[in-house]
């Protein structure tokens, strides 16, 4: 850092903040309100020295007139008046990447909430931080206010993680919770989420699972000491979930959650994001609305679950502040848990060898022999069925309503492989007894 420490009286840690949206404004407010208390507790004063954002005049609910203003976040990151750079701009490239690189190159620690940036450039940035003897804090990048990064880097001791899974997107969890509690469609829930500020005007990144995938890639790197591999994740969102799925799942004792799951499997690491049936009695099923949860299974601890607010200004800003305080105390650990030179190359375990139970919903033509033909095909693929449920009360999607009379058929399999299920469904489709695409949801018995 640029400041030298005075004997028994550390100079203030001067913070530069780039990005003054909800999180950035909340962070400024926290430092303004609690500066004296933070100094009393942690022995060093934390001061905002300079800021950068798109608009200088926008009302953010906090007074920024006392801070130096930079139109260019890179200039802020390089400024001699700043000891620590906070990046809250967002985006995997562009100004965010340039500013973070500038700060690290100057030997300044960085704190960021940018999961997209880390998912794409995390290993390179961690290596740069090691070369310049500084640090990257990114607690706020995964699960908002939940201290899962610190737990993985420092809190598990000698324990090795065998599986990490969780609910990592509050938008999807809110939608699925509402669908489960009220008889309303995905589209109506999404509209409400947008009105409440839980979903963006373009919600694709959230509802198609990409936000969760970025977070999972970061967690998997920390858990399994491999390079970040955001492009090696099976990703499936929640847009195809219907009330039929919600109702049948409830009747069977399940809830549907969008989960990110990473585990060692088949000689590699399996990473997947998809809707999942989880038992209503499981701890993860009780995490509803906009809350997040991350569960760690280790060789020493059967399961450790961390749950709390996964987004929002105050919760995310609190995680940013926690990283700032660690740096103020001189705390410095490798950003990805171990030196980047020791990270293993990522080896992907094929999704199609994943074992587990499956929920399969089919729109079956109402003709003689259809059910027998479908169950025969499933059996020929080596799949044992736990139950076969016919639901004439559930209507077919509007997109196929004009293709003749159909019935909703749900198959619940015992443990089988993804490849066997895909093979059986291809054969069923070729036989012509079904209409439209099948709905396939994996079952996890947490």
Residues forming the active site: 215
Non-local CB neighbours of 105 within 8 Å, separated by 6+ positions = 128, 132
Query: Do the bridges between strand 234-235 and strand 254-265 make them parallel or antiparallel, or are there none, so unpaired?
Result: unpaired
Closest CA to 215 of 313, 309, 117, 128: 117
Assess contact for 60 and 94: CB atoms under 8 A: no
Token pair in block for residue 22: 């909800």
CA distance 424 to 236: 20
- What are the two backbone dihedrals, phi and then psi, of residue 362, each rounded to the nearest 5 degrees? -125, 145
Closest CA to 93 of 74, 51, 121: 121
CA distance 153 to 150: 5
CA distance 385 to 158: 41
**SS in 3 state form for the chain?**
CCCCCECCECCCEEEEEECCCHHHHHHHHHHHHHHHHHHHHHCCCEEEEEEECCCCCCCCCCCCCCCEECCCHHHHHHCCCCCEEEECCCCCCHHHHHHHHHHHHCCCCEEECCHHHHHHHHHHHHHHHHHCCCCEECHHHCCCCCCHHHHHHHHCCCCCEEEEEEECCHHHHHHHHHHHHCCCCHHHHHHHHHHCCCCCCCCHHHHCCHHHHHHHHHHHHHHHCECCCHHHCEECCCCCCCHHHHHHHHHCCEEEEEEEEEEEECCEEEEEEEEEEEECCCCHHHCCCCEEEEEEEECCCCCEEEEEECCCHHHHHHHHHHHHHHHHCCCCCCCCCCCHHHCECCCECCHHHCEEEEEEEEEEECCCCHHHHHHHHHHHCCCCEEEEEEECCCCCCHHHCCCCCEEEEEEEECCEEHHHHHHHHHHHHHHCCECCCCEEEEECCC
């Amino acid at each position: 850092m640029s400041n030298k420490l005075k004997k028994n009286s550390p100079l203030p840690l001067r913070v530069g903040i780039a990005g003054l949206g909800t999180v950035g404004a909340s962070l400024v407010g926290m430092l303004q309100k609690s500066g004296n208390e933070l100094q009393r507790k942690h022995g060093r004063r934390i001061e905002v020295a300079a800021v950068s954002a798109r608009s200088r005049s926008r009302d953010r609910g906090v007074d920024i007139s006392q801070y130096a203003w930079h139109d260019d976040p890179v200039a802020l990151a390089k400024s001699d008046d700043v000891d620590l750079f906070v990046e809250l701009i967002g985006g995997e490239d562009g100004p965010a990447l340039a500013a973070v690189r500038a700060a690290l190159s100057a030997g300044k620690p960085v704190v960021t909430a940018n999961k997209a940036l880390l998912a794409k450039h995390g290993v390179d940035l961690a290596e740069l931080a090691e070369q310049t003897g500084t640090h990257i804090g990114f607690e706020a990048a995964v699960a908002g206010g939940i201290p899962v990064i610190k737990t993985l880097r420092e809190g598990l001791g000698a324990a090795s993680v065998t599986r990490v899974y969780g609910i990592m997107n509050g938008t999807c969890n809110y939608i699925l919770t509402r669908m489960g509690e009220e008889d309303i469609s995905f589209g109506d829930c999404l509209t409400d989420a947008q009105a409440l500020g839980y979903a963006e005007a373009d919600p694709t990144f959230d509802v198609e699972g990409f936000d969760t995938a970025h977070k999972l890639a970061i967690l998997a790197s920390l858990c399994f000491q491999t390079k970040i591999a955001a492009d090696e994740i099976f990703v499936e969102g929640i847009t195809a979930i219907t009330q039929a799925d919600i109702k049948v799942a409830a009747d069977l004792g399940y809830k549907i959650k969008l989960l990110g799951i990473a585990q060692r499997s088949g000689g590699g690491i399996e990473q997947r994001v998809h809707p999942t049936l989880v038992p209503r009695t499981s701890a993860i099923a009780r995490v509803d609305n906009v809350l997040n949860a991350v569960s760690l299974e280790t060789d020493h601890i059967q399961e450790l679950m961390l749950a709390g607010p996964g987004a929002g200004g105050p919760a995310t800003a609190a995680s940013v502040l926690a990283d700032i305080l660690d740096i103020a105390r001189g705390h410095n650990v490798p950003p990805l848990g171990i030196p980047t030179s020791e990270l293993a190359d990522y080896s992907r375990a094929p999704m199609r060898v994943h074992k587990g139970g499956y929920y399969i919903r089919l729109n079956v033509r109402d003709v003689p022999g259809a059910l027998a033909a479908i169950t025969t095909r499933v059996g020929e693929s080596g799949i044992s069925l736990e139950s076969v449920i016919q639901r004439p009360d559930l209507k077919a999607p509007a997109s196929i309503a004009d293709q003749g009379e159909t019935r909703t058929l749900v198959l619940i399999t015992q443990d089988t492989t993804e490849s066997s299920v895909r093979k059986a469904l291809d054969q069923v489709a070729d036989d012509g007894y079904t209409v439209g695409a099948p709905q396939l949801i994996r079952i996890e018995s947490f």
